[in-house]
Amino acid sequence: MNTYEKDQKNVALKLHYDIANDDFSRAGEASSKIKKMLKQLAIDANIVRRVAIATYEAEINLVIHSNGGNIEVFIKSDCIEIYVEDCGPGIENIDLAMTKGFSTATNVAREMGFGAGMGLPNMEKMSDAFIIESELGAGTNIKMIVRYET
């Protein structure tokens, strides 16, 4: 499993959120809703926390770096899968983007406390499986799996 592919099998519940770019005032709403839903489903607190952190970082990246996109969460019996897709601009060098501390955030974003270059590393750290694919001019797709038992 090394390529980005949505696994539609055995999905108990599917959540979908569209994320607009540059809408700082609403950034964090989708991840807050996802967290609330997982809590209602009585999912283990540690799993909820990992998904919350991963979806928050994904959501903020869509807001500050992308032209807009969406986050889908598949709740399954053994894991939670998170799919993040956007419609550009894409990432030129993924290895560089994944490096702690690397950021192209604008000064405006940095003044607000974004741009530590920790978002993608945080997402990878929270996931049991992490796949990122990107094409310049097309967009970026990220798949993360958080398993209930590891």
Ligand X SMILES: Nc1ncnc2c1ncn2[C@@H]1O[C@H](COP(=O)(O)OP(=O)(O)OP(=O)(O)O)[C@@H](O)[C@H]1O
Distance CA 145, CA 50 (A): 10
By the rule CB under 5 A, 140 interacts with Mg ion:
no
By the rule CB under 5 A, 69 interacts with Mg ion:
no
Preceding peptide of 121 cis, ω within 30°? no
In this chain, which stretch among 11-19, 26-34, 59-67, 70-78 interacts with ligand X, using CB under 6 A? 59-67
87 or 118, CB closer to another protein? 118
By the rule CB under 5 A, 66 interacts with Mg ion:
no
Minimum distance, C-beta of residue 60 to Mg ion, in the bound complex (Å): 5
By the rule CB under 6 A, 104 interacts with ligand X:
yes
Decide which of Mg ion, ligand X, another protein, none touches 105; Cβ closer than 5 to 8 Å per partner kind. ligand X
**In sequence order, which residues have a C-beta less than 8 Å from that of residue 54 and are 6 or more positions away?**
82, 122, 123, 126, 127, 144, 146
By the rule CB under 8 A, 125 interacts with another protein:
yes
Q: Beta strand pairing status for 13-19 and 79-86?
A: unpaired
In this chain, which stretch among 8-16, 19-27, 36-44, 102-110 interacts with ligand X, using CB under 6 A? 102-110
By the rule CB under 6 A, 91 interacts with ligand X:
yes
Distance CA 55, CA 15 (A): 12
Q: What is the DSSP string of 77-99?
A: SSEEEEEEEE-S---S-HHHHTS
Could you tell me which of 68, 131, 72, 67 has the C-alpha nearest to residue 98?
131
Which residues bind to another protein, rule: CB under 8 A?
24-25, 27-29, 31-32, 35, 49, 52-53, 56-57, 60, 112-119, 121-122, 125
